[in-house]
Amino acid sequence: MIEESLSPLLAILCPAFASILIVVSGTRPNIRESWTMLASILQFLIILSMVPIIVDGTIITCTFSTAFPNVDFGFRVDAFGLIFAITSSFLWILVSSYSIGYMRSLHEHAQTRYYFCFAWAIFGAVGVALSGNLLTMFIFYEILTISTYPLVAHDQTPEALFAGRKYLAYLLTSGVFFLAAVVLTYHYTGTTDFENGGIPNLAEVSRAALMGLFALFLLGFMKAAWMPFHSWLPTAMAAPTPVSALLHAVAVVKAGVFGIVRVVCYIYGVDLMHGLGLGFALLSIAIFTMIVANLFALAQDNLKRRLAYSTINQLSLIIFGVALLSHGGIEGAMMHIPFHGFMKITLFMCAGAIMVASGKRNISEMAGLGRTMPVTMLAFTVGALGMCALPPTAGYITHHFFVHGSEEAGLGYFPYILLIVALLDVMYFFPIIYTAFFEKPEGSSGGKIKEAPIFMLVPITITAIVSISFYFYPDMFYISELVETAINSLGGAHP
């Protein structure tokens, strides 16, 4: 069933209107930041209101105009898109609160510009999530790229400006590949709409053309930071920590893996992917990226850079799941998008809290922080356990699906690869925990450190609690129900 509704438009417009009010209220910080909080809460509630309709099997549409024959500019809300939209909108609430504490504590400059660009970044992310076809997705995908550039380069230091230029060089280039893939898809099929199980007449295209088209899509989704197109992501750690959280957990990189899952399941379809052998190619990229990214992470002393390489690993874990082309693998990939979002944003917000409270950026300097900042470091421990796929965290749940999906795909040895990746995670996360809780700080400086401001501490605590709650109740925010609805709409997957 299909239902026309203005709800997707209203959800998209919340951050757009907020951005205008943020600029108007730029000289009054309390009012400016109130608009940010109000818009984030309102957007989340609007998105959540669509859940009962979607889980009932109905698709919500909102069409504005026809760009080309059979190509409309508009929104199509399905279960998979709603998962990403719920994740982005809820985490925007928490990052907005966190940003208030972070930006004020450090007396950051250009705060009005910061909140303005942040609103447009969420506008782009939710637009990607709710897009009805590839053309609409491309437009919002590029809005997301442009709006996050000023955030990456926010500090305006030589390092930050270089990071911003590199960010644009990679992601605007990827946008060219994405656009080429959209044009070719329309040329081959006469449509760019997302279809459950894939566009039917795409299978009539030659094998060579389909292989080339898929390569264009992968290059178009460099936001997923698969290797060797990953180096923009660690470099972008020059940005303020709330921006790093936005890049890694809420919007940018999630838009990349979201796009790959969209193409696999809703453009090509599992059957065509299987017939072309593209699943194996995607698996090879994912496995290479997971292992190499973790090896890079082992060598990083800067906490944010270590977390950046961890993100690259985790994104490829999502790609790994969908590349299995099995029920369990795709289910795990869809579920890991929100689960990883909550766990990784916890880690980045903890890194920012440590920097604000102690000025420390490197792991080697964090001896004894677990005693002076117990809430922050306990939350960090929860996020780290999740990255290592250990209970009781959401990461354990999705790894269970990946293992089951590997067995369904007849790849019984792949769980051992997942085990190696998880052991590498342990090797670079557990030393941080040990340093914080069991090593003594040098001198007496440790006693002067205390927890970060409450505006930062509350979001950290919430995301850590949710990361554990997902272990016991995966249907929080209707996530598991939406994933099951999405899987059922695809008509199954290959064993």
Instruction: Please spell the DSSP secondary structure of 153-205, one letter per residue.
Output: TTT-SHHHHHHHHHHHHHHHHHHHHHHHHHHHHHHHHS--B--TT--GGGGGS
Which residue is listed with tokens 């957007």? 43
Task: Give CA separation, 59 vs 76, 264, 268, in Å.
Answer: 7, 20, 20
d(CA 282, CA 278): 6
Residue pLDDT, tens place only, 81-125: 999 999 999 999 999 999 999 999 988 999 999 999 999 999 999
pLDDT at 245: 86
The closest alpha carbon to 362, from 237, 261, 271, belongs to 237
Which pair of tokens denotes residue 328? 């369990």
Identify the segments of the chain with pLDDT beneath 50.
494-495
Residue pLDDT, tens place only, 301-349: 999 999 999 999 999 999 999 999 999 999 999 999 999 999 999 999 9
d(CA 432, CA 436): 6
d(CA 371, CA 390): 23
Give, as one character, the DSSP assignment of residue 75: E
Task: Give CA separation, 410 vs 89, 285, 407, in Å.
Answer: 37, 19, 5
d(CA 35, CA 41): 10
Which pair of tokens denotes residue 319? 């790609």
pTM over 0.85: yes
pLDDT at 123: 97
Domain boundaries, the chain: 2-489
pLDDT at 442: 74
Pairing of β 59-68 and β 71-77 = antiparallel
Provide the strand spans (E) within 78-215.
none
pLDDT at 495: 47
